[in-house]
């Protein structure tokens, strides 16, 4: 089968198409024929530095496809089922390939109303947004939520999830993306190139920060007492918890985890028409390096997807 591999760390040019043996599912695993795979910032991080482990891995976590075979003990899906999910994350998965194996319970059935390309855009970014807003911050109706990089892969899904939870949503994004975000339900928008978000909006209950750097400390100043900052940027942001505590605030750094229950909630929102991924670009597997070039530019709106079917 075809797969994307790399010999070492570096820019997008290190990504190559190789031929490898098709894997076989082990106990409690399934083999998925990949129809589409999402491209995420964490993929670029692992490509360039090896991520937290500092090791070369087969890239890709988002997947949507069809179950080809099941290993011993699998009861939740069967060959022929259309599924999507986040295999093994944060351990390597390798969804940039014609086939991938996955623990059966890291997948759920694909919503009938979504294409494989759309479904492949949801697992990592959608679960990140869900776990940040629901599991960590416990967003409730009427609360005010501020989402940084609101037009990005995680951000645009977080806007929709927060609205589905009944929140008042403010997003930071360039003015050119404001109409798009209003269409997703954003209530207020701040162009971060023209205004300081911490003074441009009323105090909020929750901030979701996908950017890091000085956005963390500045976001603490945007919170009302008792509020929560969820940082998704890097482990270095963990120090914000100490800064937040004396202010009567809470700050947490979060890494997304494979989560079947969360995937089912995301699928239900999609089925209800309350969650739709924006697809920026679709490219074939052999143009994975081009997909990473686009992702590294940080100028996309929504998700970049690799399609493995004609």
- Residue 298 confidence (pLDDT): 79
Give the mean pLDDT of 30-39.
98
- Residue 54 confidence (pLDDT): 81
Rounded to the nearest integer, the mean pLDDT of the chain is: 95
On whether residue 170 sits in a domain, the answer given is yes
Q: Are residues 99 and 163 both part of a single domain? A: no
Q: Are residues 208 and 152 both part of a single domain? A: yes
- Residue 299 confidence (pLDDT): 79
Q: Are residues 135 and 246 both part of a single domain? A: yes
Give the mean pLDDT of 181-193.
97
Q: Determine what percent of the chain is predicted with pLDDT higher than 90.
A: 91
Q: Determine what percent of the chain is predicted with pLDDT higher than 70.
A: 99
Radius of gyration of the chain (CA): 19
Q: Are residues 94 and 129 both part of a single domain? A: no
On whether residue 236 sits in a domain, the answer given is yes
- Residue 301 confidence (pLDDT): 86
Q: Which domain holds residue 147?
A: 125-253
On whether residue 260 sits in a domain, the answer given is no
| CATH code, 197 | 3.40.50.720
- Residue 310 confidence (pLDDT): 58
pLDDT tens digit sequence for 70-119? 999 999 999 999 999 999 999 999 999 999 999 999 999 999 999 999 99
pLDDT-derived band at 295, boundaries 50, 70, 90: very high
pLDDT tens digit sequence for 215-254? 999 999 999 999 999 999 877 777 899 999 999 999 999 9
Distance CA 67, CA 60 (A): 18
Give the mean pLDDT of 34-39.
98
């Amino acid at each position: 089968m075809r797969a994307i591999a790399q010999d070492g760390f570096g820019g997008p040019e290190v990504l190559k198409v190789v031929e490898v043996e098709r894997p076989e599912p082990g106990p409690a695993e399934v083999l998925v024929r990949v129809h589409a795979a999402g491209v995420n910032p964490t993929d670029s991080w692992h490509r360039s530095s090896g991520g937290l482990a500092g090791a070369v891995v087969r890239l890709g976590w988002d997947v949507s496809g069809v179950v080809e075979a099941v290993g011993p003990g699998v009861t939740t899906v069967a060959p022929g089922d259309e599924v999507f999910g986040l295999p093994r994350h944060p351990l390597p998965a390798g969804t940039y390939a014609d086939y991938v194996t996955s623990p059966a319970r890291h997948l759920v059935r694909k919503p009938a109303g979504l294409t494989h390309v759309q479904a492949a855009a949801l697992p990592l970014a959608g679960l990140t947004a869900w776990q940040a807003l629901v599991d960590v911050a416990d967003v409730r109706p009427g609360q005010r939520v501020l989402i940084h990089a609101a037009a990005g892969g995680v951000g645009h899904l977080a806007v929709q999830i927060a609205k589905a939870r009944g929140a008042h949503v403010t997003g930071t994004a360039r003015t050119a993306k404001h109409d798009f975000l209003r269409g997703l339900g954003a209530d207020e928008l701040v162009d971060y190139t023209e205004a300081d978000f911490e003074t441009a909006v009323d105090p909020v209950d929750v901030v979701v920060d996908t950017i890091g750097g000085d956005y963390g400390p500045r976001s603490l100043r945007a919170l009302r007492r008792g509020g929560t900052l969820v940082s998704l940027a890097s482990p270095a942001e963990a120090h914000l918890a100490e800064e937040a505590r004396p202010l009567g605030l809470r700050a947490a750094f979060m890494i997304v985890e494979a989560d079947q229950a969360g995937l089912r909630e995301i699928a239900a929102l999609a089925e209800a028409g309350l969650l739709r991924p924006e697809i920026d670009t679709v490219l074939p597997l052999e143009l994975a390096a081009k997909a990473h070039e686009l992702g590294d530019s940080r100028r996309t709106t929504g998700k970049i997807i690799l399609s493995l079917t004609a």
